[in-house]
Structure 1
């Protein structure tokens, strides 16, 4: 005969095990809930901060909408390399030297060597990519913008503008450098070489710089090679250059300046664009932060005065933020 006390103890032990198992399950569920809530909270906070960064400059602007063309090809690849006759004619007239090469053959060779893909096609309402476009104006000296510039996702620099010995004012980070053969400098492995082609020979130089190293002369002496990552090479599309000239520079000058092209390029690939090192000094002239040679905007081929007016208008329309440094 079963002892009543033993049966009672057995029943109590079963209930205790059940309660312990239930409490354990509830504890695990509570921990998972807290963890997921924390992840959700901090993700939302990051998203809110990102949205604030990117959304603060968005807004309706008929002036901007009339000029901005989201469908324009930014970078050349094999699928968009065929140029309309009017685009090719305009671009071909920019060349300082005769075009003796076949454009189609050169393009085919380009994309047998360099990445042939569509870049920056990931635009969407949830993306928040920040850009710093760093010009070469002397007003950067003494600005202490370096740390701020380095905080951006993309830091786009122009031609030969150096960072070494100027880090306090211009930063040290470079994700993209827009250049052409006559302004070529060596790049580190983390930097995209963005070729600004004014002529077919520029594309040939790019091929040569990574292969035969035979091209040493365009309309002036150029480096036969360049230190850069072949996997990070990009080529601005001639149609994009024409678009910037027509829509943004409104035909002023023969062609847009490298800095102006870099700025409009940033407007197409980034959600927040801040601009450093642009503009003339108080006398209407400018000099590079790395040399003291003065130049006049009015005497260039770029319609510099009108470009600056357009940049200031973009700032007024809250499409960019201008950091004017010291003037």
Structure 2
């Protein structure tokens, strides 16, 4: 059984009929290949997972971030105008239809499919461009390199939700899913822009009006942050707190 998340609810099964009808066109359009399986004792792939926390403001982490082999960013987080603090390099950007943005030709589009319609939207982006709405209006197309499209298996998202978060919250945040992905494919993982700002508030470095409690909304930021702190204590990752 393959599961997905839908807005306002917990894990729900993908509709099997719609999924089977979608998989064929999906694999005919995008490369079905194994990524990053080249591990060896001599390899050291460095990865920066860059969250959107306001603790990046005045951090001057930009050059450090850009020095990594891979730089993961989430949703529509901008780099222009924030280069000194967040860098400008983006090798992988995780999105879903509602957070889609135009990408550089060298950037991997990493889709997090929370519903079958997300997969259908991805196909539409590069073909008919006819899907303009999910549960709200979405971009019918974006600039992106079709040969660099990656799709996160919903089973991986369920694994993160159940094994790492113990089913707390509605579903994992995009940033937390990408951190777990980085741990699977990177030799050294450095984390930037996660957690609250220096004043204890949770908002984005590019949107000071977006305030929320650590326990509010569909994610459990406090639970995710505790897991991240444990990973740091175990020396699995390094945290850059920004303040």
Q: So what's the TM-score if we normalise by structure 2?
A: 0.94
Is 2:151 the partner of 1:235?
A: yes
Distance in 1 between residues matched to 2:158 and 2:238, nearest whole Å: 25
1:149 Cα deviation from its structure 2 partner = 0.3
Quick check: 1:307 aligned with 2:218? no
What secondary structure is seen at the aligned counterpart in 1 of 2:215?
Answer: helix
- The structure in which a higher percent of residues are helix is 1
Structure 1 runs not aligned, ≥5 long: 1-84
Q: Does 1:318 align with 2:235?
A: yes
Measured after TM superposition, the shift of residue 282 of structure 1 is: 4.9
**Alpha-carbon distance, 1:99 to partner:** 5.2
Provide Cα deviations, 1:215-244, integer angstroms capped at 9, x if missing partner.
Answer: 010011100101000000000001100111
Please list every run of at least 4 consecutive aligned residues from structure 1 whose deviation after the TM superposition is greater than 4 angstroms: 97-101
Distance (Å, rounded) in 2 between the aligned partners of 1:209 and 1:229: 11
1: CA distance between counterparts of 2:16 and 2:153?
20
* Partner deviation per Cα, 1:28-78 (whole Å, 9 max, x = no partner): xxxxxxxxxxxxxxxxxxxxxxxxxxxxxxxxxxxxxxxxxxxxxxxxxxx
Which structure 2 residues correspond to residues 257-272 of structure 1 after superposition, within 5 A?
A: 257-272=173-188
Change (3 A) 1:147 1:283: closer
Distance 2:102 2:16 in 1: 28
Provide the secondary structure at the position in 1 that maps to 2:184: helix
**Structure 1 residues 99 and 285, CA, compared in 2 at 3 Å: closer, same or farther?**
farther
Q: How many residues align?
A: 237
Match of 1:64?
none
Q: Is the 8 A contact 2:189 2:236 kept in 1?
A: yes
Larger Rg: 1
Q: What's 2:69 paired with?
A: 153
Structure number with greater CO (CA < 8 Å, separation at least 6) is 2
The alignment partner of 1:155 has SS state of: strand
Q: How far off its partner does 1:283 sit?
A: 5.4
Query: Which 5+ residue runs of structure 2 have no aligned equivalent?
Result: 9-13
Are 1:276 and 2:187 an aligned pair?
Answer: no
Q: Distance in 2 between matches of 1:181 and 1:299?
A: 23
Given that residues 284 and 296 in structure 1 are in contact (C-alpha distance below 8 angstroms), is that contact kept between their aligned partners in structure 2? no
The structure whose residues are more often strand, as a share, is 2
**1:95 and 2:11 matched:** no
